[in-house]
Amino acid sequence: MRIVHGTDVFAELVNLSFYIAGDNEDAAQRFLAACDETFSFLVNNTQVGATRTFQDPSLRDVRMWRVKGFEKYLIFYQPLSDGIKILHVVHSASNYKVLFES
The per-residue DSSP string of 59-96 comes to GTT-EEEEETTEEEEEEEEEEETTEEEEEEEEETTS-T
CATH 3.30.2310.20 fits 2-101, yes or no: yes
pLDDT of 77 reads: 97
pLDDT of 58 reads: 86
pLDDT truncated to tens, each residue of the chain (102 aa)?
899 998 899 999 999 999 999 999 999 999 999 999 999 999 999 999 999 988 888 898 999 999 999 999 999 999 999 999 999 999 999 988 888 876
CA dihedral over 82, 86, 92, 93, signed as positive or negative: negative
